[in-house]
Structures are given as structure tokens and as C-alpha cells.
Amino acid sequence: MDDLRHRWLAEVAEAADEAALERVRLAALGKKGEIALRMRELGAMDPAERMRVAPALNALRDELASALAARRAALRDAALEERLRGEWLDLSLPARPRRAGTIHPVSQVTEEIVLIFAAMGFAVAEGPQVEDDWHNFDALNIAPEHPARQEHDTFYMARAPGDDRPPHVLRTHTSPVQIRAMQERGAPLRVIAPGRVFRADYDQTHSPMFHQVEGLAIDRDTTMAQLKWTLEEFLRAFFGLDRLDLRFRASHFPFTEPSAEVDVRCSWEGGTLRLGEGDDWLEVLGSGMVHPRVLAAAGLDPEAWQGFAFGMGIDRLAMLKYGIPDLRAFFDSDLRWLRHYGFGALEVPSLAAGL
């Protein structure tokens, strides 16, 4: 038994790689290995001899299994050390230009929007992307029978059978952030709420997840004229045009009254979109005066306060400004697209240097 033990332990120690070690394991402990064959011989022995040999064979088998595991771990550690010696990166080296990352157009345009509205005195407000039904719909005067509350338009979170708690949704707009801002900060108030929103739609100009920015201004004498001036100044600064004609069309949104959709003058001559010229109009955002029921739901007295609100798609603005034809490409993670439309890390937008 001692000779058997020394021989197999020597072979384990001499195994140069994991493949050789596996051959040793099969020859010693496999179903047809030497130790297994010795175990089968126990049945032919007399009881006294079996009681002497069986414990020794079991001990030898356990010792060999431990030696194999230790040798396997040592071989893997040695392989890792060798790999680490061959694969290294000097982090102090200058970045390689062809590997430099870029800023995503959505991030860049968001920074541009925040910069313009910050100059007008608007603060940035944020809120959860998973919203309760009340903040996402009820507080915004969206009736229970409204189509936006159906599952074909809104992503509802799963609930266990018998769960009677109010449902939660992936927010369909950033308007709930306005409700939370009014509840937390009161009035007067000027905030914008950029962020991700989710709706069950997918085509060339729609995506299940996209980005939106909404604005809210609350004061005692806020007017529709102030809303129009704010949007005119923003769009002119964003598109870098001294003259940009806007058209306000009467519309309906549950959370504003009166409501208006905003179009900008454009031209499609030669199949190329040009803003600020031509005889055509292109819708870019929705707006209106905050509905008194929304103010009351947020804890403000509609007899004392009034305000305006607006909302627009960040992805859509990026498409219009930078000539991006397909919304779906924003979320494809195609490196070629990112390198073509991406912005350099140092291209920080500013009102002085231009957006």
C-alpha cells in the first residue's frame, strides 16, 4: 500500500498541466482506475483481511483526491501568473485617439437643453422611473378611461395575485416629476425634468424607451405670453437661429388648459429639412397652462397660483438638429454610429461658445 501511495503521489506532483493531471486522476481514481480495481477485490477477501485493507484503500483514495485538487489549484495559479505577466496595460500612457470614447447625442443635447433653461432660471428636478399610478395619471387629471392608461400603451409592473395595492408603471412622461416638485418645493417654482420615459411603441420615429424634458413655471401671475416667449427663446438658442417662426395650434392635454402644440417654420425643398425658412410647419412640442386640478392635486391653491408647462422629446430634438434619420439607432449601441454622431469629451456646450 505504501508503494502504491508513493507512486501515485509522485505522478500527481509531476503532472505539468491540467490535461496530464486529468489523465493521472482517471488512471488512479476513475471507474477503471487502479484504486477502483483494488476496491473490487475486497469482496473476495476474508473478513479479517477486508477490515485491514478497506480503511487503507479509503484513506489512500481520499489522500489522492486532496493531492489532485491541490495540484490543480497550483497549476491554475501558475497559469494566471503567466497570463498576468504577458497581459498588462500601462495606465500612464496617453490615450490612443482611435480608441477615444464619444459623448452620446442624447447626453449632449440634454446638456444643451439644461444650459439654456438654466440661463432662464429653471432648476433641474428628478424623480423615479418606476412611478405609482397616482403620480403618473391621477394627479395629472388623466381619467381612468383615458387610452394612455391601457396596457397597449403603458408598461405596468407585475403584481402578485391578490395584491390590492395601487399599480406601478414605467413612467410614460416626466410630468410626475412636476407633481413631486410642487409637493416638495411649493410655489413659486421653475423647474425642468429631463429623463427616460417608456411607452409601448416601436417604429422609425418611436421607441419603447426614449428621453423627454418637461418644464414647469408656477407663479401668481404667469401668463400664456410668458410661455410663448420662453419657448421662442429656447428654440432659437437651441437651433442657433436668429429668426425662427413658431405657430401655436390649439390642442388638448388633460393636464393643461388651454393647451397648444408648437410648430416651427421649415422647408423640405430637395428632400432636405431646413428650419427657419419655407412654407411648411413641423411639430416639435406640446404646451399649455397648468390645469387647476393638477395644481390642487399637488397641494397648491389654484385661486392663488397659476403656471405653464411644456414637454418635448430629447431624441427628436437631437434628430432634427444633427440630421439623425432613425430613432431606433439611438439604442442600437453600434460603434460606427456612435463614432459618427458622438461628441468629443471636451465639446462642452456653452451659450458663449455656441451649442
Q: What secondary structure does DSSP assign to 318-342, as a single string?
A: HHHHHT---GGGGGS--HHHHHHH-
The share of the chain scoring above pLDDT 90, in percent, equals 45
Whether the predicted pLDDT of 97 surpasses 70: no
- Going by C-beta distance under 8 Å and a sequence separation of 6 or more, which residues neighbour residue 28? 8, 11, 34, 35, 64
Confidence tier at 178 by pLDDT (50, 70, 90)? very high
pLDDT mean over 252-258: 92
Assess whether 72 and 110 both reside in one domain: no
> Domain total for the chain?
2
Q: List the single range of 94-98, 117-121, 174-178, 249-253 with lowest mean pLDDT.
A: 94-98
| Structure confidence at residue 355 (pLDDT) | 65
Residues 59 and 198 in one domain: no
The answer to whether 103 and 342 are in contact (CB under 8 A) is yes
Q: Of 47, 81, 115, which closes a domain? A: 81
* pTM of the entire predicted model: 0.68
Q: How confident is the model over 321-351, as pLDDT tens digits?
A: 998 888 888 888 888 888 888 888 777 777 7
**Same domain (yes/no): 28, 148:** no
What's the rounded mean pLDDT across residues 39-48? 82
**Position 221 pLDDT exceeds 80:** yes
Judged against a pLDDT cut of 90, whether residue 189 lies above it is answered with: yes
Of the two residues 177 and 208, the one the predictor is more confident about is: 177
Region of residue 157 (left: phi > 0; alpha: psi -120 to 50; beta: else): beta
Q: Name the residue type at position 161.
A: P
Q: Label each residue of 112-179 as H, E or C.
A: HHHHHHHHCCCEECCCCCEEEHHHHCHHHCCCCCCHHHCCCCCCECCCCCCCCCCCEEECCCCHHHHH
Per-residue pLDDT tens digits for 305-319: 999 999 999 999 999
DSSP for 226-285, written as a single string: HHHHHHHHHHHHHHT-S---EEEEEEEETTEEEEEEEEEEEE-GGG--EETSSSEEEEEE
Domain that holds residue 268: 105-335
pLDDT of residue 190: 96
Whether 340 maps to a domain, the answer reads no
Please state, rounded to an integer, the average pLDDT across all residues of the chain: 87
Res. 70: pLDDT tops 70: yes
Pick the last residue of a domain from 49, 81, 113: 81
Q: List the beta bridge partners of residue 247.
A: 263
Q: Does residue 199 share a domain with residue 146?
A: yes
Instruction: Return the pLDDT at 38.
Output: 82
**CA–CA separation, 344 and 101 (whole Å):** 8
> Does 292 lie in the same domain as 220?
yes
| Residue 177 pLDDT greater than 70, yes or no | yes
Say if residues 330 and 105 touch (Cβ distance below 8 Å). yes
Kindly indicate the confidence band of residue 29, based on its pLDDT and cuts at 50, 70 and 90. confident
Our measurement of the distance from residue 263's CA atom to the centroid of its chain's CA atoms, rounded to an integer in Å, reads 30
Give the pLDDT score at 129.
92
